[in-house]
């Protein structure tokens, strides 16, 4: 049973059909997809990524940009720790949580 509010706002209907009854799925299609979440809209090979995603704005927060930033922060933390070990600085260590370890991107 589809949600009545979605019908009123002209949401696209999922185009999948039932094997048993042959009727079309009553769920609304996922944004930018021909099918609903139950029929494959969230599979990794069907999700839109990067500039193709409808929520894409500037590319500063893409998965790739986040991975690069995280690996650079990790590298900076390692350099800072090395400076403290070698006695090159007497400043306080950087506050905050440590960045997640990711393989460095080249």
Q: Name the residues that contact Zn ion, by CB under 5 A.
A: 14, 16, 25, 27, 36, 38-39
Nearer to Zn ion, 25 or 73 (CB): 25
Taking the complex as a whole, how short is the minimal distance between the CB of residue 13 and Zn ion, in angstroms? 8
**Are 28 and 12 a contacting pair, CB within 8 Å?**
yes
- Rounded Cα distance between 68 and 86, Å, is 27
Nearer to Zn ion, 17 or 49 (CB): 17
Task: Name every residue whose Cβ is closer than 8 Å to that of residue 31 and which is 6 or more positions away in sequence.
Answer: 54
Taking the complex as a whole, how short is the minimal distance between the CB of residue 55 and Zn ion, in angstroms? 22
- Rounded Cα distance between 49 and 78, Å, is 31
CB atoms within 10 A of CB 17: 12
Nearer to Zn ion, 39 or 71 (CB): 39
Taking the complex as a whole, how short is the minimal distance between the CB of residue 104 and Zn ion, in angstroms? 42
């Amino acid at each position: 049973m589809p949600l009545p509010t979605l019908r009123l706002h002209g949401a696209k209907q999922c185009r999948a059909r039932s094997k048993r009854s042959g009727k079309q799925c009553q769920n609304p299609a996922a944004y930018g997809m021909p099918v609903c979440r139950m029929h494959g809209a969230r599979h990794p090979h069907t999700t839109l990524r990067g500039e193709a995603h409808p929520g894409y704005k500037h590319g500063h927060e893409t998965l790739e940009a986040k991975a690069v930033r995280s690996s650079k922060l990790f590298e900076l933390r390692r350099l800072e720790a090395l400076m403290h070990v070698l006695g090159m600085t007497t400043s306080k260590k950087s506050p905050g949580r440590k960045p997640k370890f990711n393989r460095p991107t080249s």
